[in-house]
Structure 1
Amino acid sequence: MDTVLWAISVTLGAAVLALAVVAVVHRVARRLGRRSVLLRELSDHAHRPFQVAMTVLAIEVGVRATGGEFAGRDVVLHLLVLAVIAAFAWLLAALALVVEDVAVSRVRTDVPDNLRARKVQTQVRLLRRVTVAAVVVVTFGIMLMTFPHVRAVGASLLASAGIIGVVAALAAQSTLGNIFAGLQLTFSDALRLDDVVVVEDEWGRIEELTLTTVVVQIWDDRRLIMPTTYFTTRPFQNWTRTGSAVLGTAEFDLDWAVPVQDMREELRTLLEGSQLWDGRVCVLQVTDAVGGMIRVRALVSANDAPTLWDLRCLVREHFVGWIRDRQPTSLPRVRAEVGDGANRLAWQWVRPSTAHDVRPGRRDVPTEPDDDARVFGGSPEGEARAAEFEGPPERSDPDESRT
């Protein structure tokens, strides 16, 4: 009886001492955590697993050192060993998660240029899942290896590992493909959290990215859940691949009588008075002139896709009213002309205008469009945009250069 009481007292004392040490370490970490993000995260998220791991370890050491021989001693020690393994696996996973949280906290996503932050956040979230899965698998394997019978059949399991691997690969081909696709998306920067994409003719943002699925939050708050292999095998639009600023168009089918230059000046006035415009691109061009009407396209820019949507709608609404009230003759219409008895039409007697005569003899007529009529040129942004779509510079012939 004295031996049993002594063993129980020593074991409980070891557990209490372990709890006291953990409490002291926790208090010190919280105090130092006022200056260190890492220590603050450790004190908040690793305290409980550290407490459990140290307590279970103290109990196991106490029982092994003072328990002596008693009925069921091997079973109790084996259970304590399993508990120690599980507790330290919990602690290891908590420490890995703390490190990942600290890495995420060092980058901010509430800034306009948050590409790097979203990249780090995406990679950390995928690594978090991989880390937890790896810790669970390794822990389960270590716990199984504590059983003598499992170690005895290990050789036979390794001998048949080739066959089992082939069967498992065939059975989990789709799952493994999604997992590798998720890792490929994460570390190739092809897709990140909060990226704005167009998938299956749906416009939305990447809300969640896991090893097997991608959740796209569509603009009307629906969710499109797709396998990760979709984004590695099929094309999709990523509007925020290198930046959030984008270009958009508003098109109008109008009559040939529309004053294009006046419309161009009206677009500039509208954008300069709107907070939705980012000041980069303001271009109005005639992109088509067939079928009795011309197509006028307004090209505008904004800081992000939602703002661009509102800006495009604003441009359309404004010009609907402007054309209706200020330029009613520019509305689309179908003409029917009737000639006289000699089949002569009235427009044949109108003297042609020379306002748009660009022949060399007329020097007073400019032949170069202004900045608002050019997408590729006319401004530093337009020149840079044109350079992106130009081919490599032509090499000069060495023989010609010598002559």
Structure 2
Amino acid sequence: MYDLEIAGWRVPEPIISVALIALAIVIALAAHALFVRLLRRITRNTSFLADDVLFRRSLRPMRWILVAIALTLIRPALDLSPTADAIWKQAAGLIVPLLIGWLAISVIRASTRIVEIRSDITVEDNLKARRRRTRSMILSRIAVIIVGFITICLMLLSIPGVRNIGVTLMASAGLVGLAVGAAAQPALKNLIAGVQMAFTEPIRIEDAVIVAGEWGWIEEIKLTYVVVKVWDERRLIVPVSKFLEEPFQNWTRESAGLLGSVFLYLDPSADVARLRAYFEDMVVKEPLFDGRGKALQVTDVSAQAIEIRMLATAANSPKTFDLRCAIREKMLAFIRDEMPAAFPRTRAELGQAEWKRDAEPIRDPVRPPRSAPQEEGIGGPSGEGG
């Protein structure tokens, strides 16, 4: 250690060490400030948002990494006791992996944010954007878990006691792995299903689905579960494995546009041609109709009614639902006002005996008709015998 005297007074070595540490920290912070100013000037001159996001996310980790580098460089100039030197090395073994892991996680999250910015899901045809967002979200969460796991392992390996018992732990790792795997089977199952979902893509962010009897949108995709926003603002939490093992409906698998159907049950005597003409004219004027297709057909016939199916297309699932409601309301109003006889009516067929009885004229229950023949000796008008 260098001796330092000021005005004949010898400065103690601990004060020199503290001063050197403080000087190293100040230099590191100054270098970081200069580096930040330079990068900010560069990012302002570019039209890309990616560099701005990456710059903001990595700002804080880089500051402390520069401080750690500066302290590492001045380490040989410090006169430390064996105890202090051991503490210094132990702290460096814990802090350096932590800072590197922090920076790596910040870069991963910045990349996810960049994908979100470049993938606009507010447009009508947002299939590719939702696909990129879903894959980026799932893979980034997996990457964060892996980086966190590696960081913790590196920190633990810097502790001599943990490193020394590592061989013993590795010898029993097989039995421990079996026990942990049996206990955490549901969690591991959903975790593996989450990784599989990132590549197979049965669902994506903002997909319209029907799962567990509920209709809603995919709001979040976690590693082990999916959050479905139900149409009435409820949230349905569904395990990831359910989307890989059980059937469900995905209304936006290939595109956002949908074909909506409306069914009406009318009397067999209804004028289908007149209904079709009104339907086609009404749908064309409907703002929710996107013009891709429309049709009105008789799809079934029974003894009591005919089934009429009306089809019309809309840009997405919410508009399709509203379009179906509008078609149903307007068709019912038209039939009620213009064709009330088209509503189903109940018909009954009478038997032959009942038909003959109903066809006879109504007679006086007391006096029989005059033209009715009377048998001799059998009740006449008075009901007496001959």
Q: TM-score range by the shorter chain?
A: 0.7 to 0.9
Q: Deviations over 1:143-194 (max 9, x none)?
A: 1111222222222211111111111111111101001111112211211010
Q: 1-side partners of 2:349 and 2:176: how far apart?
A: 83
Q: 1-side partners of 2:331 and 2:321: how far apart?
A: 16
Listed as ranges, the matches of 1:158-307 within 5 Å are 158-307=170-319
Q: 2-side partners of 1:246 and 1:130: how far apart?
A: 33
Tell me the CA shift for residue 343 of structure 1. Answer: 6.2
Task: Give the letter for the 2:225 counterpart.
Answer: T
1:148 correspondence with 2:160: yes
Residue 309 (structure 1) aligns with: 321
Whether contact under 8 Å (1:179, 1:211) holds in the other structure is yes
Task: Give the letter for the 1:40 counterpart.
Answer: D
Residue 376 (structure 2) aligns with: none
Deviates more, 1:301-310 or 1:333-342: 333-342
1:334 correspondence with 2:342: no
Task: Give the letter for the 1:321 counterpart.
Answer: A
Tell me the CA shift for residue 5 of structure 1. Answer: 2.6
2:121 is paired with a residue of what secondary structure? coil
Q: 2-side partners of 1:328 and 1:213: how far apart?
A: 51
Which segments of 5 or more consecutive residues in structure 1 lack a partner in the other structure? 345-403
Pairing partner for 2:25 from 9, 15, 18: 15
Q: 2-side partners of 1:342 and 1:120: how far apart?
A: 74
Task: Give the letter for the 2:188 counterpart.
Answer: L
Q: TM-score, normalised by structure 1?
A: 0.81
Q: 1-side partners of 2:354 and 2:262: how far apart?
A: 44
Residue 116 (structure 2) aligns with: 104
Q: Deviations over 1:127-151 (max 9, x none)?
A: 2222221122111111111122222
Q: 2-side partners of 1:14 and 1:339: how far apart?
A: 110
Q: 1-side partners of 2:300 and 2:30: how far apart?
A: 81
Listed as ranges, the matches of 1:17-166 within 5 Å are 17-34=27-44, 35=46, 36-69=48-81, 71-166=83-178
Task: Give the letter for the 2:274 counterpart.
Answer: D
Task: Give the letter for the 1:221 counterpart.
Answer: E
Q: 1:340 to 1:176 in 2, by over 3 A?
A: closer
Whether contact under 8 Å (1:7, 1:62) holds in the other structure is no
Tell me the CA shift for residue 341 of structure 1. Answer: 9.5
Q: 1:337 to 1:146 in 2, by over 3 A?
A: closer
Q: 1:256 to 1:14 in 2, by over 3 A?
A: same
Q: 2-side partners of 1:217 and 1:77: how far apart?
A: 51
Deviates more, 1:329-338 or 1:280-289: 329-338
1:33 is paired with a residue of what secondary structure? helix
Tell me the CA shift for residue 101 of structure 1. Answer: 2.1
Tell me the CA shift for residue 268 of structure 1. Answer: 0.5
Q: 1-side partners of 2:114 and 2:212: how far apart?
A: 36
Task: Give the letter for the 2:36 counterpart.
Answer: H
Task: Give the letter for the 1:289 counterpart.
Answer: V
Whether contact under 8 Å (2:139, 2:198) holds in the other structure is no
Whether contact under 8 Å (1:256, 1:292) holds in the other structure is yes
Q: 1:72 to 1:66 in 2, by over 3 A?
A: closer
- By relative contact order (CA 8 Å, sep 6+), the higher-ranking structure is 2
Whether contact under 8 Å (2:219, 2:229) holds in the other structure is yes
Q: 1:77 to 1:155 in 2, by over 3 A?
A: closer
Whether contact under 8 Å (2:267, 2:341) holds in the other structure is yes
Task: Give the letter for the 2:32 counterpart.
Answer: V
Tell me the CA shift for residue 67 of structure 1. Answer: 3.1
The size of the alignment, in residue pairs, is: 344
